Chain A
Amino acid sequence: MSRARVPLLAWLAALVAAAAIAAGARYTADLSAFLPRSPSPAQQLLVDQLREGAVGRVMLLAIEGGDAASRAAASRALAERLRADARFAYVANGAAGSTERERRLLVEHRYLLSPAVTPERFSAGGLREAIVDNLDTVASSAGGLAQALLARDPTGEVARLAEARMAGSAPPLSREGVWASRDGERAVLLARTAAGGADTDGQAAAMAAARAAFDAGSASGLRLRMSGAGVFAVQSRATMKQEVARVAALGMALVAVLLLAAYRSPAALAFGLLPVLSGALAGVAAVALGFGVVHGITLGFGITLIGEAVDYAVYLFVQTAAPQDAQARRAAWLAEFWPTIRLGVLTSLAGFGALLLSGFPGLAQLGLYSVCGLAAAALFTRFVLPSLLPAAFHVRDLSPFGVHLARLCAAAPRWRGVVTLLVIAAAVVLLAKRDALWASSLSVLSTLSEEEQAYDGRLRADLGAPDARYLVVAEGNDAQEALRAAERVGTALQPLVAQGVIAGFDSPATYLPSEATQGARAASLPPLRELRARLERALRGLPLRAARLEAFVADVAKVHAGARLQRADLEGTGLGVALDALLLPRAGRWLAVLPLRGPPSGGGFIDTGQAREALLGSGAEFLDLKAEADALYAAYLGEAIALSAAGVAVVLLLLMIALRSAARVGRVAAPLGAAVLVTAALLAAAGEPLTLLHLVGFLLVVAVGSNYALFFEHAAAQGPPAPRVLASLALANATTVVGFGVLASSHVPVLRALGVTVATGTLLALAFAALLAGARGDAR
């Protein structure tokens, strides 16, 4: 008795420990799952941009419903509240006066900011040319601003600056004085959160703050919608949580109903779910210990463990079901069938173990979870469960049902040709679709609906917010060095703008020129006495007297006196926010980020070859974030395929060692290979590109299906399996198909992919195992 208690106590202790670890674990749905373990510099930049950069911090807000006036009022109230909220670094809604500080800064520091300020421009001839040009502008229909500033800015520097800033980007429309969508039906706002895009809790808090501010300050009948990378992360996590909870509850309930119908015993049901519980807890605890954080995808996958872990108890209960000598039967079962199940478990562990080596943390987590979960469930079933069961415990004998199945199996040989035909057809489909078989974009793993993505695209277009796909990144030891590097990149990019390869670009040096550049511009301005003399000469014959331009001379004097634009001057303005997004410290160095705008004629796409060529030798790096992300995904996928192939090789090796016969290994492997092939072909024929999650699904098909095939192979020597074994296989498969069928009903693509693959694949695996085993039995 005490010997039997040792595993039981060990199990209880492990269960408590695992539950404690799982309860204390950190759960996330952010991009960390996609951050490679040893990223290239470009990948690191990509992930940094998404996690900490401006891309992840941008929140787009839209107010819908009501009329334009009430939307505008709500926009003003919302912006006012959010500006006072520490969770938001910046809020813009286009309201008049909200950009007054920016305008003042531009006017005040125009000679330091304008690239047009050169010694030539401030020679007598250069001044004359600039003033004549500016007077032409004053005379024109667009002369308003130039006219208002004429005495202070006779060379039209402010107008040039404003124009340079607007080049290539259209300002949002306004209705009732605030920004609105192109169709005028939404008021739109642009905000930057204090929290980074990867700080999902921080993003969730910002969203809640926005919602509360909106509810407090808007008329009824209006709705608030938010979008952006951070918002998506929050929504993904919520969707994942909700879906996982829903699918797990529904799957569990259906499996329970099925088992209850089969066992006719609530106690048996409870005992049968214990391996699942043990496995799931062990898996989560292992991932929490191994990775420090548990990803939502892993958790979603957790419910799938039901699929295989529940089978172990099914085999134990159904194959030993009889009222007499229950305990003796279980002992006999352990002796006869456990080696078969153990081999099945080992093949599963080999398959999933391969994923542990993946550089994709999401996949490595799945691997660890599965290996630990399955091992725990199997160990529990073997060493703990039998001693937990009361001596007289038994479930309903499913032999009568098994006898029906045996009759079907006997008829199977006549249909074995079907398998061959299906495999050939599958091979043809896969060959025909070989180029479009695998999804090439990371977006296939997204939980976002197409509607949400389209809405985000519309809001970005409304607000003129770039999607920041193309970036140039330059580095420096300090902020000044990075700014100087950005200025060199800007010079290298100018020809591309002129050629129309890019529509324009943004640079931190536009907002804050380096001290060196500011110094050079200041040195371009002549001393005051000289300036006055040059003005006299420049204005000869023009309707402007130098005496009228004392405000201009005074502004130049301020620059001579050493006035420089500092980072602190921009604090709290839209310019400062823009600068912070483009000039960032990283690991003791500073990065300057220059987002490029694609030409509108090319649909916003940039000829990356030309861009790279222009930047050759500048020390800066050109990045196509989408291509980079897709390449990252493709690398993961390629690696996962290779690892899966390695896993299959290990499985075959294992079978070879255990079965000691190539023919027997073939008998186990054939139905599994056929099931995977036909499932893949069905997915391809349905137009569903295969993703990482389908691949994981195939591994699960092999893991679950290997048990079926092994049972058939185990029995092959004595003819078809016993009716009880057949019944247990049918029940085990039914629970798997039901559990994964529920998963297939999810609208989250990753869960659906897994569900469809495994439900289809395991059903086929069982059918093929029966058909092929029967075929050989007949042949013998």
Chain B
Amino acid sequence: MAPRLERLLGVVLLAWAAAAPAAPSWDVERLLAGFAQTREARASFVERKTVRVLERPLVSSGELRFAAPDRLEKRTLRPRPELLVLDGDRLTLERGERRLQLDLRSYPEVAAFVQSIRGTLAGDREALERAYQLALEGDAASWALTLVPRTPAMSDLVARVRIAGRHAEISVVEIVHANGDRSLMSVQRLPGAR
């Protein structure tokens, strides 16, 4: 139960971060301020999971939606329809006829992880720095923000998260797990967001 959930949450956060467009000005402070201004966003995604046992990555694709302050949808269309919704503390996963509902508060480490990302989206740099070591590379035209968890409990979930983008847009979110498996999500913003 627990490992499955943790990975699932990793994906949620990845999707969440991806759904929020970056702010126009260039520095961490402004980047975060830009996130905070986002009320709604839509994006398409293609996710490539690299699993050591497998010869080539598993690919899935679909659409992301974000609505401030704390609702996120990840709708996978291929290879198999699936809907993941994070609304406040409630996580719902629908897949075929199966429906799984979880309360995030039951998983404190995961909840801490979610809270820190919420801090990011809310522009709360302090909250983010408490949970991660931040490293920023590149320039406004091509930037990459790397988050490395500070606590071992969180390192077990995710070794690091790398978010890259151009100007205001996030284009790639990469999550690397402790065992080397990784997930690379390419994001394309769709019109209709504010």
Binding site for B on A (CB under 8 A): 96, 135-136, 138-148, 150-151, 162-163, 170-171, 173-177, 184, 543-545, 548
Contact = CB atoms under 8 A, between A and B. Distances in A.
Interface string B60-98: 100000000000001010011010100000000101001
B51 A141 contact: no
Interface stretch (B20-28, B35-43, B101-109, B143-151): B101-109
9 contacts: A138-B51, A139-B47, A139-B58, A141-B93, A144-B5, A145-B1, A147-B51, A173-B106, A544-B55
Contact of A175 (B95, B100, B106): B106
The 4 closest A-B pairs by CB, nearest first: A144-B7, A145-B4, A144-B4, A174-B106
Contact of B105 (A143, A144, A175): A175
B74 A141 contact: yes
Nearest to A162: B1
A144 B3 contact: yes
A144 B57 CA distance: 15
Contacts of A135: 54, 58
A473 B100 CA distance: 31
Contacts of A136: 79-80
Interface string B119-146: 0000000000000000000000000000
B51 A140 contact: no
Given A139-B49, A545-B55, 13 more contacts: A136-B80, A141-B8, A142-B82, A143-B7, A145-B7, A150-B51, A151-B53, A162-B1, A170-B101, A174-B107, A543-B57, A543-B58, A544-B54
Contact of B82 (A141, A150, A175): A141
Interface string B7-30: 110011000000000000000000
Given A140-B80, A144-B5, A184 B105 contact: yes
Contacts of B51: 138, 147, 150
A143 B49 contact: yes
Nearest to B7: A144
Contacts of B12: 141
Given A143-B49, A174-B106, A138 B58 contact: yes
Contact of B76 (A141, A151, A548): A141
A140 B55 CA distance: 18
Contacts of B55: 543-545
Contacts of B84: 141
Contacts of A141: 8, 11-12, 74, 76, 82, 84, 93
Contacts of B190: none
Contacts of A146: 4
A136 to B, nearest CB: 5
Contacts of B3: 144-145, 148
Contacts of B80: 136, 139-140
B60 A140 contact: yes
A97 to B, nearest CB: 10
Contacts of A143: 4, 7-8, 49
Contacts of B76: 140-141
A137 to B, nearest CB: 8
A142 B55 CA distance: 21
A144 to B, nearest CB: 3
Contacts of A142: 4, 8, 82, 93, 95, 100
Residue with the highest number of chain B CB atoms closer than 10 Å, among A146, A147, A162, A170: A147
A48 B45 CA distance: 59
A177 B153 CA distance: 13
Contact of A140 (B1, B54, B82, B103): B82
A140 B107 CA distance: 20
A139 B53 contact: no
A174 B74 CA distance: 25
B75 to A, nearest CB: 10
Nearest to B83: A141
A350 B82 CA distance: 76
Contacts of A543: 54-58
A144 B6 contact: yes
Contacts of B4: 142-146, 148
A136 B60 CA distance: 9
Contacts of B2: 96
B54 A173 contact: no
A146 B59 CA distance: 16
Contacts of A148: 3-4
Contacts of A173: 103, 105-106
A88 B58 CA distance: 48
Contacts of B57: 543
Contacts of B5: 144
A688 to B, nearest CB: 43
Contacts of A145: 1, 3-4, 7
Residue with the highest number of chain B CB atoms closer than 10 Å, among A96, A136, A146, A170: A136
A220 B74 CA distance: 45
Contacts of A174: 105-108
A490 to B, nearest CB: 21
Contacts of B108: 174-177
A138 B8 contact: no
Contacts of B7: 143-145, 147
A143 B181 CA distance: 12
A140 B106 contact: no
A147 B54 CA distance: 10
B46 to A, nearest CB: 12
A151 B54 CA distance: 9
A715 B98 CA distance: 84
A41 B59 CA distance: 59
Contacts of A150: 51, 53-54
A177 B53 CA distance: 32
Residue with the highest number of chain B CB atoms closer than 10 Å, among A141, A148, A543: A141
Given A96-B2, A144-B6, A147-B181, A139 B79 contact: yes
A163 B98 contact: yes
A37 to B, nearest CB: 49
Contacts of A548: 53
A617 B43 CA distance: 58
A116 to B, nearest CB: 15
Interface in B146-172: none
B141 to A, nearest CB: 32
A139 B8 contact: no
A334 B53 CA distance: 104
Contacts of B8: 141-144
Contacts of A170: 101
Residue with the highest number of chain A CB atoms closer than 10 Å, among B54, B74, B84: B54
A171 B49 CA distance: 29
